[in-house]
């Protein structure tokens, strides 16, 4: 009996540790991949952006980490974004465009029914309402999750924060700090370059150039050959294809077709990388293709 009690005590302590341990956001070990897109119908995604910390700084009496972003797979096009610090479950950000202003970016001490005023971050007054707080398991660890609505629309979740990760819009793009005309979604979160979280709606952590709307791929879809020297053949024995569009890397439509397809597609396209958007019965399917 004594051994059983000791075992139960150890188990309870271990579980308590898993739930209570902190997951810092402002840490050199962390990095994020985010994709942004215009509010079009359907939208076209822009290049992936990576965010990470590198180096320390002091402003006033506070210690900060420097935040950088890059928009290429090799991480060569680097842009300095500002300073960030973490204190008492709160994340503060000093953007490079307003170095005299510190914003409250996140507050992970929030509980259900509480309000988060981010009016100072936006050109319009906005107060968020915490609709739900729970815990989600990510890579074997439990992290606090905060889901929020606006005070004038309590039914629609407009932002979700996860402890140690930040907003599901991306670490630098919570709802309270969005740029007009663009929407952001977190693709992947890394710790020590190890993939910890991956957005289930996407198949990759990086997309080059423009990409057609979110995929609803079916195994029956056939696109071949890829790479192609001449024309592409596109078919799906499981469902009807209603339209096909091919985009270049600048997001311009270069070819449109409607079945039945005779002779294939893309025969006149010059060599390069393209994105193909296929409208099917169940949604939109996207594929990256290469013309040699």
- Give the C-alpha separation, 54 to 27, whole Å: 9
**Alpha carbon distances (Å) from 265 to 14, 135, 246, 254:** 59, 48, 9, 11
Give 195's pLDDT tier (boundaries 50, 70, 90): very high
pLDDT digit string (tens) for 13-63? 334 333 434 789 999 999 999 987 665 545 555 678 899 999 999 988 899
Question: May I ask the CATH architecture of the domain 222-291?
Answer: Sandwich (2.60)
**Alpha carbon distances (Å) from 107 to 62, 104, 235, 266, 273:** 18, 7, 49, 51, 42
Give 262's pLDDT tier (boundaries 50, 70, 90): low
Q: Confirm if 103 and 90 have CB atoms less than 8 A apart.
A: no
CB atoms within 10 A of CB 291: 19
The maximal CA–CA distance of the chain, rounded, in angstroms, is 80
Three-class secondary structure of residue 190 per DSSP: strand
- Please tell me the predicted confidence (pLDDT) of residue 9: 40
pLDDT digit string (tens) for 208-227? 654 443 444 444 667 777 77
- Please indicate, yes or no, whether the overall pTM of this predicted structure exceeds 0.85: no
In the chain, where the domains are located:
23-198, 222-291
pLDDT digit string (tens) for 116-164? 987 666 556 678 999 999 999 998 889 999 999 988 888 889 899 999 9
CB atoms within 10 A of CB 19: 11
pLDDT digit string (tens) for 89-129? 999 999 998 888 898 999 999 999 999 987 666 556 678 99
If you average pLDDT over residues 222-243, what whole number do you get?
74
- Give the C-alpha separation, 47 to 34, whole Å: 9
Look at the block and give the residue holding tokens 């070819």: 255
| Choice between 258 and 187, residue whose per-residue pLDDT is larger | 187
């Amino acid at each position: 009996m004594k051994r059983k009690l000791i075992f139960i005590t150890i188990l309870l302590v271990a579980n308590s540790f898993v739930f209570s341990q902190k997951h810092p956001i402002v840490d050199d070990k962390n990095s994020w991949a985010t994709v942004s897109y215009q509010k079009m119908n359907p939208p076209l995604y822009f290049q992936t952006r990576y965010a990470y910390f590198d180096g320390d700084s002091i402003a006033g009496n506070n210690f900060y980490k420097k935040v950088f972003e890059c928009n290429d797979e090799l991480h060569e096009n680097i842009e300095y974004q500002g300073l960030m610090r973490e204190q008492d479950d709160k994340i503060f950000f000093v953007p490079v465009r307003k170095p005299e202003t510190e914003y409250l970016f996140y507050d992970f001490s929030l509980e259900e029914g509480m309000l988060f005023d981010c009016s100072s971050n936006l050109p319009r007054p906005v107060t968020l309402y915490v609709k739900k707080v729970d815990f989600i398991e990510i890579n074997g660890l439990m992290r606090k999750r905060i889901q929020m609505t606006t005070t004038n629309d309590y039914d629609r979740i407009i932002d979700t924060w996860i402890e140690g990760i930040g907003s599901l819009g991306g670490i630098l793009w919570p709802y309270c700090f969005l740029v007009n005309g663009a929407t952001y979604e977190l693709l992947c979160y890394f710790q020590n370059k190890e993939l910890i979280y991956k957005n289930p709606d996407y198949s990759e952590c990086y997309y080059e150039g423009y990409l057609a709307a979110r995929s609803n791929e079916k195994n029956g879809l056939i696109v071949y050959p890829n790479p192609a020297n001449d024309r592409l053949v596109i078919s799906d024995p499981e469902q009807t294809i209603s339209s096909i569009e091919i985009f270049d890397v600048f997001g311009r439509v270069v070819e449109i077709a409607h079945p039945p397809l005779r002779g294939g597609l893309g025969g006149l396209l010059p060599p390069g990388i393209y994105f193909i958007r296929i409208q099917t019965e169940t949604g939109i399917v996207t594929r990256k293709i290469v013309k040699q």
